[in-house]
Structure 1
Amino acid sequence: MIVILRNSEDSCVSLYHHSQIAENYTGTFEEFCRLFLAGRVSFGPFWKQVLSYWEQRKRENLLFIKYKEMKDDLPAMIKKVATFLGKTFTEEEIQKLSEHLNFESMKKNPAVNHEEIFKILRKSGYTTSNHSFLRSGKVGAFKSKLSPDMIKEFQTWSEENLVGTGLSVE
């Protein structure tokens, strides 16, 4: 099992946009943040889920990766995953995989971006959102979406949930 941890703020923003298209969420972003913090959204409560995997991080069959590490050095993460899976790749294969697996390539890939499904949802009237399944993929993009007060609330919430766990999230 491979677990990828993204910071709570970016996860919230991403889930908000996903919920608009996939679940027809129509509330405000501020309301969604409150629901996220309360653990009342899909895939929540966030820290309970994350920490349930973190507690098992030493198991042989579990690899724990931070999203930021993957974004900072995709080739290194490909090598790490390959090692975890007992595979080896040449540098040329790593380069090709890096090109294929980078966010912009994945965003354009119909096998990954689910655009056909979302076209059907829009056409049926289930959702009016024009967001795509893979939207920005940037680390720290929450800074342009969350208010300074909400950022502070997320930081405090994360600190409270991470006390004594040994887990840090950038």
Structure 2
Amino acid sequence: MSQGGQQRPKSSITYKGVRFPWQAPLHCLQAMESFEVRPDDIWLLTYTKSGTTWIGDIVNKILVNSGLREKEDPNIDHAPYAEYHLYSKPNFQLLAEAPSPRVITSHLLPQFLPPQIFVKKPKIISVARNPKDIVTSSAYHYQIIEAQEDYSSLQNIMDAIMSGKIIFGEWHTHVLYWWNKREDDNVLFLKYEDMKTDLESSIKKVCEFLGCRLDTQTLKKISEETTIDATRKRDMKPKDARLIAYNIDPAMSPFVRKGVVGDWKNHFTVAQSEEFDKWCAEVLKHRGLTFQYEA
């Protein structure tokens, strides 16, 4: 992806009742309605701070080791967000020019995705993470990324998620939609915490889902190269096009932080934890979806 950015506004926009960050401008959101989906696309559909960079790194290494992609270039965004405009061209235009198989990332709720996704049925990988760690990671993320002034504290972010007024919209709407699609042939639903517990098995599952055959030694090599620590180090390269577009010091990269399960315990008060637990129990009631909150 070429470098050079767009003029950035200072605040979010609201489109069809949902707030979006400056890097997902109106013309990109509207372009999704006619975006050309390819049957051999691989879409990574995650909520924010749910292992997006991590799963993108894993998928890219699987494709490279399977001979479906050229050797990695650490300065290229291998899984661009369909709805973003960070560089000289919006990503939807860059993706239209990209060779197959494309790996495309998005935080969009289902109603904002290209309608062709539901017709052409490309491969879709969705990663879900326990929401307490999402809140904690978001609090750090918005200290680094230019964002909305009302995301200045963990309580503000927690309130925004519970009210549905958070950037990109309702967490539970996103995760429950893909949870309910988990039996579809073109959908792989993963949990962040399961990936942390047994990364090699998770990588094998992704590999099989993508129809790639890799030997045990290669799978082990990929698992060693895609630990959270390894992904963080790659994500902090000074020439990373995203860091240039965001004007961020690589040492402060907000895309991959601790990546641990249960870090929320170091930030939530007892009262906040109880309030959030009550909300989670309500929105997930009778859905069969549970999360691991401690390592």
TM range (shorter): 0.7 to 0.9
Call closer, same or farther: CA 1:155–1:95 in 2, change over 3 Å. Answer: same
What is the CA-CA distance between 1:113 and the residue it aligns to?
9.4
What is the CA-CA distance between 1:41 and the residue it aligns to?
1.2
Give, in whole Å, the separation in 2 of the partners of 1:153 and 1:105: 35
Corresponding residue for residue 202 of structure 2: 77
TM-score scaled by length of structure 1:
0.86
What is the CA-CA distance between 1:94 and the residue it aligns to?
1.0
Partner residue of 2:264 out of 142, 147, 151 = 142
Corresponding residue for residue 105 of structure 1: 230
Percentage of matched positions with identical amino acids: 30
Determine if the alignment matches structure 1 residue 42 to structure 2 residue 167. yes
Corresponding residue for residue 154 of structure 2: 29
Give, in whole Å, the separation in 2 of the partners of 1:85 and 1:150: 40
Call closer, same or farther: CA 1:24–1:135 in 2, change over 3 Å. Answer: same
Aligned residues: 165
Give, in whole Å, the separation in 2 of the partners of 1:74 and 1:55: 24
Give, in whole Å, the separation in 2 of the partners of 1:112 and 1:145: 28
Higher helix proportion: 1
Corresponding residue for residue 131 of structure 2: 8
Matches within 5 A, 1:52-63: 52-63=177-188
Counterpart secondary structure, 1:109? helix
Q: Which residue identity is paired with 2:172?
A: W
Q: Which residue identity is paired with 2:145?
A: A
Give, in whole Å, the separation in 1 of the partners of 2:269 and 2:254: 23
RMSD: 2.4
Partner residue of 2:140 out of 8, 17, 20 = 17
Corresponding residue for residue 167 of structure 1: 289
Structure 1 spans left out of the alignment, 5+ residues: none
Contact 1:113 1:134 in 2 (8 A): no
Contact 2:125 2:188 in 1 (8 A): yes
Question: Per chain length, whose mean CA-contact separation is higher, i.e. which structure has more relative contact order (CA < 8 Å, sep 6+)?
Answer: 1
